[in-house]
Amino acid sequence: MPRPESDRIIHEPPLFTEFKPMGISGRNLEQIKLSLDEFEALRLADHEGLSHEEAAEQLEISRSTFTRLIRKARKKLADFIFLGKILTIGGGNVHFKNNIIRCLDCGHIFRVEIDRRISKCPECHSKNLLNAAGRFGHGNCCWEKTEDQ
């Protein structure tokens, strides 16, 4: 029986979670699911340019585990690009360090630490907000109870 996966520490949730080739109905495409820890591995290695050792430290996993994770993520990304599939991001045992909040009225996007609750947009004061971490079922598991701003 394999060991259970431990929770991975992710910098922040993705702002966009679904990608597909233009001009083709999504109903006709096979789906590839990129887990949140694979997404984070791509961010750390390919976007931030960290070594496998540095990235593994950020995710709190071994270097060899990180190498396997980034290899799987890159294969899925290549299949998406070259085989024209839908790529969705989600799933996995993760906790976020930070969060992204988007105002659904004015479109303002802002980043906050995960333990900071926001009840209104700092730009337009709307309460119509999208909590990106909440889309992944994160909320009380990733932050302590704090007062709203």
Predicted local confidence at residue 101, as pLDDT: 92
Report the alpha-carbon distance of residue 73 to residue 67 in Å, rounded.
Answer: 10
The dihedrals phi and psi of 2, each to the nearest 5 degrees, come to -70, 155
- 8 Å CB contact between 70 and 45: yes
Q: Which residue has the tokens 């598991």?
A: 141
pLDDT value, residue 8: 82
Spell out the alpha helix ranges (H) of the chain: 36-42, 52-59, 63-83
HEC states along 13-52?
A: CCCCCEECCCCCCHHHCCEEEECHHHHHHHHHHHHCCCCH
51-62 pLDDT tens trace = 999 999 999 899
CA distance 44 to 113: 19
Percentage with pLDDT > 70 across the chain: 87
pLDDT at 104 over 80: yes
- Model confidence at 121: pLDDT above 80: yes
Q: How confident is the model at residue 2, as a pLDDT?
A: 64
pLDDT tens sequence across 19-51: 999 988 888 899 999 999 999 999 999 999 999
Q: Which residue has the tokens 């290695």?
A: 45
Q: How confident is the model at residue 142 (pLDDT cuts 50, 70, 90)?
A: low
Rounded to an integer, what distance in angstroms lies between the CA atom of residue 32 and that of residue 21? 13
pLDDT range class, residue 149, cuts 50, 70, 90? very low
Instruction: Give the pLDDT of residue 28.
Output: 83
